[in-house]
Amino acid sequence: QWIYLDGQFVTKDNAKISVYDHGFLYGDGIFEGIRIYNGNIFKCKEHLDRLYDSAKSIMLNIPLTYQEMEDALVETLRRNELRDGYIRLVVSRGAGNLGLDPNRCPKASVIIIAEQLAIYSEEAYKTGLKTVSVSTKRNIPDALNPKIKSLNYLNNILVKIQSNLSGAGEAIMLNSQGYVTEGSGDNIFIVKNGVITTPPCYLGALEGITRQAIIDICHEKGYKLKEEPFTLHDVYVADEVFLTGTAAEVIAVREVDGRIIGEGHAGPITLKLLEEFRSIVDKDGLK
């Protein structure tokens, strides 16, 4: 496996960064997770737009132009002979001193890891996930703007620990007002009486690229879709609940805090949207 590290391709064992890197010391950096389907970098532009926007927002100077970044992604796939898999693109503030000041970090580091991905079994897409709700502070202005896909994921990790302790595979996060925001690394949708609802991202969710792809599919295919705040009660009584994300695609939730959702397995709209989503993944992106 070849890893792109600051302009060089190195093996996994040789892919090392400084202990003074502020990405390591402070979580000071940004990242993207991107899927490759049949040689197509799915929604490449959307991911790079989000990356460069996150960088601008935190005043991180990415040392590659947009075109150079695209070329680096393509070359990483070529070197690894990967046509299906997952890319993790990380830009950290780079090596500095032990202080917080990013001015002491002269050059950001760019790392691209590409590998195979098997997150959920095909069975899991039918049975759905068991989840628990966890309240968090992941909403503006309490915390960092969730539009920034920063390396600072401690909040999400605490949520994951909480769901592990409850014996659930995934968590549903609430903001401090009690509105549902997202999963630990996925966006959330509910379906009730044929209407699909997802929370507006200003409540405290990442503007997920899979989320947007599902919204686009709903518009194209004539599903009723709303972006509206909702609470846990609405989740408990929904006919269907599903999560969306680059790695997970579209996956049903069968249980939330001990309440069985709908029939207790993936519902028809969730499965239809998964099918529609999978029909575009090798088209909409960079070949």
Quote the least distance from Cβ 20 to ligand PLP, whole Å.
26
Quote the least distance from Cβ 138 to ligand PLP, whole Å.
8
Among 187, 197, 198, 270, binds ligand PLP (CB under 6 A): 187
Can you list the alpha helix ranges (DSSP code H) found in 128-253?
Answer: 154-165, 209-221, 232-236
How far is residue 121 CA from its own chain's centroid? 19
Tokens of 130: 């068991």
Are 253 and 241 within 8 A, CB to CB? yes
User: Does the protein bind ligand PLP through residue 210 (CB under 6 A)?
Assistant: yes
| Sequence-distant (≥ 6) Cβ neighbours of residue 87 within 8 angstroms | 32, 33, 34, 35, 36, 41, 73, 76, 77, 112, 113, 114
User: Does the protein bind ligand PLP through residue 197 (CB under 6 A)?
Assistant: no
Exactly one of 149, 160, 272, 283 is catalytic; name it. 149
User: Does the protein bind ligand PLP through residue 204 (CB under 6 A)?
Assistant: no
- Interface with ligand PLP (CB under 6 A), residue total 14
Tokens of 112: 């691209």
By beta carbon distance, the residue nearest ligand PLP is: 208
Tokens of 4: 């792109």
Question: 3-class DSSP state for residue 245?
Answer: strand
3-42: which residues touch ligand PLP (CB under 6 A)?
Answer: 33
Tokens of 59: 């005043």
| Sequence-distant (≥ 6) Cβ neighbours of residue 230 within 8 angstroms | 179, 180, 190, 197, 199
Contact string 96-125 vs ligand PLP (x = CB under 6 A): ------------------------------
Q: Which CB, 5 or 172, lies closer to ligand PLP?
A: 172
* Residue 285 backbone dihedrals phi, psi, to 5 degrees: 170, -155
How far is residue 167 CA from its own chain's centroid? 22
Contact region for ligand PLP (CB under 6 A) — 163-171, 180-188, 222-230, 268-276? 180-188
Distance from first CA to last CA of the chain, Å, rounded?
Answer: 21
Among 245, 262, 267, 285, binds ligand PLP (CB under 6 A): 245
Query: What is d(CA 185, CA 120) in angstroms, rounded to the nearest whole number?
Result: 14
User: Does the protein bind ligand PLP through residue 249 (CB under 6 A)?
Assistant: no
Contact region for ligand PLP (CB under 6 A) — 22-30, 86-94, 185-193, 266-274? 185-193
User: Does the protein bind ligand PLP through residue 200 (CB under 6 A)?
Assistant: no
Contact region for ligand PLP (CB under 6 A) — 86-94, 105-113, 202-210, 270-278? 202-210
User: Does the protein bind ligand PLP through residue 139 (CB under 6 A)?
Assistant: no
Contact region for ligand PLP (CB under 6 A) — 110-118, 182-190, 217-225, 279-287? 182-190
- Whether residue 149 lies in the annotated active site: yes
Quote the least distance from Cβ 241 to ligand PLP, whole Å.
15
Positive or negative, the Cα torsion across 143, 146, 150, 156? positive
Q: Which residues are catalytic?
A: 149
Where does this chain bind ligand PLP (CB under 6 A)? Answer: 33, 156, 182, 185-187, 206, 208-211, 244-246
